[in-house]
Amino acid sequence: MRLSGRSALLQSAVCLLLLALSLFLESGTNLDMLLQRRWFDAAAGAWLIDPAAHQVLRVFFYDGMKRAVACIGLGCAALFLWGYASGRSAWMRAGLLMALSCAATPLLVAALKAFTGIHCPRELIEFGGAFPYRHFFPLGAGTSGGRCFPGGHASGGFALTMVFFCVSGGRKRAAALLAALAAGWVMGLYQMLRGEHFLSHTVVSMLLAWQMNIGLVLLTDRLLMPALERRRARRAGGPEAPPS
């Protein structure tokens, strides 16, 4: 699926509006704390998924899912190279988009973590930690030392939503998008049940991933793919592909 300029602007506007609303709810309400308290046993000082349970479950919901996303990214990079070598533009584009998303989305979230300076629930005084609870606004510019917002683990799953732009057919796109969103939310919810993230952390990661998708699709379709097609045409000694 390719994006027109109008569609990209509309999707970006909706995405940024939802992002602003999410930050407003995070800073203007106690929804995050109300939800997080439901998963914390104050008497026992333990989360619903405690360290012992995490050691059993991490192979599926933490390490396993992170490695799966990494393998998908590497596999898509190989798909891009195969598509380039074989002259299959559709495979080349899909592999490039997915590989870029699997790399760029987690990197963006990791960079923002250092800027926001927000601590994880388990680090807060309310849950037996040492730090006071602080909302996103006013911006702390990282002075508190927290590195928990947005949610990093879930960002890998949400990076897979790029598949929506790589398949054809309305039903296939919808199914692919739902599967990718499910992966992101399973990863995000797992971290929330461990006291590693608030709900807003996961929501913001999802929206950032979609905004990243829009930018990467425009970059790929308008700059990278035409340049790659021209390069391949020159190497093959044939006429250059017309600019898209």
Q: In sequence order, what are the residues at sequence separation of 6 or more whose Cβ sits closer than 8 angstroms to the Cβ of residue 109?
A: 150, 151, 152, 155, 205, 208
Domain around 141: 5-29+65-232
Please check whether residue 44 lies inside any domain of the structure.
no
Please check whether residue 157 lies inside any domain of the structure.
yes
Whether the Cβ atoms of residue 179 and residue 171 lie closer than 8 Å to each other:
no
Prediction pTM value: 0.92
Please check whether residue 213 lies inside any domain of the structure.
yes
Q: What is the CATH number of the domain that holds 116?
A: 1.20.144
Please check whether residue 145 lies inside any domain of the structure.
yes
Question: What's the domain count of the chain?
Answer: 1
* Distance (Å) of CA 98 to CA 118, 145, 166, 180: 29, 32, 8, 12
Please check whether residue 45 lies inside any domain of the structure.
no
Name the DSSP class of 195: T
Please report the pLDDT score of residue 144 as a whole number: 65
Instruction: Write out the DSSP string of 72-111.
Output: HHHHHHHHHHHHHHHT-HHHHHHHHHHHHHHHHHHHHHHH
Averaged pLDDT in 10-residue chunks for the chain of 244 residues: 90 96 94 96 96 96 97 98 94 98 96 90 96 82 75 97 94 96 98 97 98 97 95 75 51
Please check whether residue 240 lies inside any domain of the structure.
no
Q: Which helix (H) or strand (E) holds 200?
A: helix 199-219
